[in-house]
Amino acid sequence: MISDPPIRVLFVDDEPGMLQAIRDYLSIVHSIGVDICNSGADALTREDLFEFDCLIIDYEMPDIDGIVLLKEIRQMNTDIPIIIFTGKGHEDVAMEAINAGADFYIKKGGNPEELFAELAHYIRTGVGRFRAEQSLIEKERRYRAVVEDMTEFVCRMDADGVIVFVNSAFPKSLQISLETLKGMTFFSLYPDHQREIEDAISLCDPDNPVAQLELPFQAGHGRTIWHSWIIRVIFNDRFDIQEIQAVGRDVSRQKESDRQGAILRELGLSLASCSTLESALRYSLTAAIEISGLETGAVYMYTQSSGRISPFLDQGPYRAALHRLYEEFSRNGRKWILNTDDPLYMSMTDLLRYETRFTALAFIPILRYEEVTGWFILASDQLIEVPYELRGPLEGVVSQLGNVISRIEAEEALRDALIESEERYMQLSETSPDAIAILSGNTVVYMNPAANALFEVDNPEVFFNQPLQDFLDTDLQNWFHEILKTKEREKSPRAGEGFLKTKSGRMIYGELITVPISHAGEDAVLLLIRDKTSQRMQEQALIESERRFREMADLLPEPLFEADTNGKLTFCNRGVYALLARSHRPDKEITMASQLVSKQEQLRFSTI
């Protein structure tokens, strides 16, 4: 038995503590080898970057952020699994990561053991899928190298499109006998695309004799088989069509894989933006039905109150019949089906003992932290069993739900906490002596009683109907405009002072402090306004008193000066300069009080 090679991952993060903790956990608990890298720039310069099985990238790094690094890597390699690891939890971050090519998105915080277990699960899931895809590619390459020529379809037609020769691979794909094909027209195999085929052939000429088409063949039981054809038109000397040769192959698997991939990508984007459990389950059930071809489906979930499993939602034409079948399982002691955490598939033979219209049934568990929290039940009355190639993608749809449910519950708890916090804050604001207002954009959405009193308004609706800038002087308007002109405000508070106008037209001088906050789930600005009119009047009176004192002192004939505690002059009147004109050299600047006396008197002067 050949075991899978050990998993090696590269963790790119600028937090040494986080790098070391995750490396120790993954290596000790899960035997996953971890190399660490401290910056995005260092990661891009590693020659062995794509030799790892998985890359874990931190969203916030000082040199290159995680999204930029992710995009750079995806330009070089579109297949390697990449997990974005971040402390942010906004939906736009998740959408940005998925759109940039991330396979998974994990939010930091919470229980470290659960966080690391989730990370290990994503690594194993991504690496397993990546290795399976690489293995499939390698097997396909080897297969083509050995049997490509034998398995491709070869078809020769005359100028009218009548089939004159086919190899054995073509009728085998169509499940039509070789004798039946001969004599038929090529166009009749694809009746809805006859005009497309004729147009492609008519555009060929001796210089460009080749056309390529993808055509759907309607096989039995409603199946569609997709054929990719390279058609070569052979002309005679008169440039008339002599023969038409076509080489084709079955591309149904690729078409189906592309279809499933598109459904899964769309589901991933939808789940990233889901805010309720019902919407997440509805998106997933719709995707499961589209991928599997099982027309009817239902979701059963355990309820916390009763601890019993109950129908949560359903979809499809025969929902009542599906619920009746589940009830019959319960009555006949088959409820053990839902007591396992493994998917269960029932074919037409298995369902013959029940009075049901269904011929194929699938039970897929919803696992959360390795515990079953619910079930997807899907059924069909057309398929005799769930095809094996569809079971993996079907289980992949349901496997995402455990993490989505955890995220939704965490976001709901956070929203409840924010609402409670806002309610407490509003209670404090109502009793605050400082004027407080909340602005959304340029509009006031809340004012406390102190703000109403400051602006002399009985009804705050006065402010709600006009911009706050109308109540500010020009300097304050310019300062306030700089704060509001972009949504990406500074995270720290900012303060300014200026004149404000009340409802009655009275001018007051105030200090404004702005703090970016979240209000009702949106970005907003908390504005604190403190009335400093009295303080400013006192300051102005002091300045005026000082000015008058200095004017009077300057007119006195006696020398008068002021000095600080170090003896440095801070003021001299005209009497000092008149004295110096008689006793001091005019070219020497006077800066110290000791210079006003002679050298003989300086010691006594300094002592005094």
SS (H, E, C) 22-39: HHHHHHHHCCCEEEEECC
pLDDT at 244: 93
Same domain, yes or no: 205 and 280: no
For residue 254, the 8-state DSSP code is H
Model-level pTM?
Answer: 0.45
Residues 6+ apart with CB under 8 A from 410: 89, 110
pLDDT at 177: 83
pLDDT at 197: 92
Sheet strands side by side (includes 494-501): 443-447, 435-440, 522-531, 507-519, 494-501
Same domain, yes or no: 195 and 309: no
Dump pLDDT digits (tens) for 78-131. Answer: 888 888 887 766 667 778 888 888 888 888 777 777 888 888 888 888 888 888
Domain end residue (candidates: 147, 169, 193):
147
Q: In this structure, which amino acid lies at residue 288? A: A
Same domain, yes or no: 136 and 160: no
Q: Does residue 524 lie in a domain region?
A: yes
**Domain, as residue range, for 28:** 8-147
Domain end residue (candidates: 411, 445, 471):
411
Q: Does residue 73 lie in a domain region?
A: yes
Q: How many CB atoms lie within 10 A of CB 299?
A: 25
Question: Is residue 251 within a helix (H) or strand (E), and if so which, with residue range?
Answer: none
Q: Does residue 541 lie in a domain region?
A: no
pLDDT at 100: 85
Rounded to 5 degrees, what angle do the CA atoms 415, 421, 426 make? 125
Residues of the chain below pLDDT 50 = 1, 143-148, 487-488
Burial 385-400 (b: 16+ CB within 10 A, else e): bbeeebeebbebbbbb
Question: Is residue 183 within a helix (H) or strand (E), and if so which, with residue range?
Answer: none
Residues 380, 346: contact at Cβ < 8 Å?
no
Distance of CA 379 to the CA centre of its chain: 34
pLDDT at 464: 67
Q: Does residue 50 lie in a domain region?
A: yes
pLDDT at 1: 45
Same domain, yes or no: 403 and 267: yes
Question: Is residue 404 within a helix (H) or strand (E), and if so which, with residue range?
Answer: helix 401-430
Q: Does residue 119 lie in a domain region?
A: yes
Q: Per the structure block, which two tokens stand in for 604?
A: 């006594």
Same domain, yes or no: 263 and 407: yes
Strand-pairing partners, residue 522, are 519
Residues 6+ apart with CB under 8 A from 367: 341, 373, 399, 402
Same domain, yes or no: 391 and 271: yes
Same domain, yes or no: 177 and 192: yes
Q: How many CB atoms lie within 10 A of CB 603?
A: 11
Question: Is residue 229 within a helix (H) or strand (E), and if so which, with residue range?
Answer: strand 224-235
Same domain, yes or no: 277 and 364: yes
pLDDT at 209: 92
Residues 533, 509: contact at Cβ < 8 Å?
yes
Same domain, yes or no: 29 and 43: yes
Backbone angles phi, psi at 164, to 5 degrees: -115, -15
Say how many domains are in the chain: 5
Residues 6+ apart with CB under 8 A from 308: 302
Question: CA-to-CA distance for 254 and 465, rounded, in angstroms?
Answer: 60
Q: Per the structure block, which two tokens stand in for 4?
A: 């899978």
Q: Does residue 304 lie in a domain region?
A: yes
Strand-pairing partners, residue 215, are 227
Question: CA-to-CA distance for 214 and 551, rounded, in angstroms?
Answer: 99
Helix %, strand %, coil % of the chain (to 5):
45, 25, 30
The CATH number assigned to the domain holding 365 equals: 3.30.450.40
Q: Does residue 298 lie in a domain region?
A: yes
Same domain, yes or no: 445 and 586: no
Residues 265, 103: contact at Cβ < 8 Å?
no
For residue 106, the 8-state DSSP code is E
Same domain, yes or no: 490 and 571: no
Q: Does residue 452 lie in a domain region?
A: yes
The CATH number assigned to the domain holding 35 equals: 3.40.50.2300
Dump pLDDT digits (tens) for 495-531. Answer: 778 888 777 778 888 888 888 877 766 778 888 888 8
Domain end residue (candidates: 196, 217, 250):
250
Strand-pairing partners, residue 449, are none
pLDDT at 203: 92
> Got the DSSP string for 289-310?
HHHH---EEEEEEE-TTT--EE
Same domain, yes or no: 160 and 233: yes
The CATH number assigned to the domain holding 185 equals: 3.30.450.20
Sheet strands side by side (includes 296-302): 309-315, 296-302, 371-380, 360-368, 344-346
Question: CA-to-CA distance for 447 and 429, rounded, in angstroms?
Answer: 9
Q: Per the structure block, which two tokens stand in for 178?
A: 């070789």
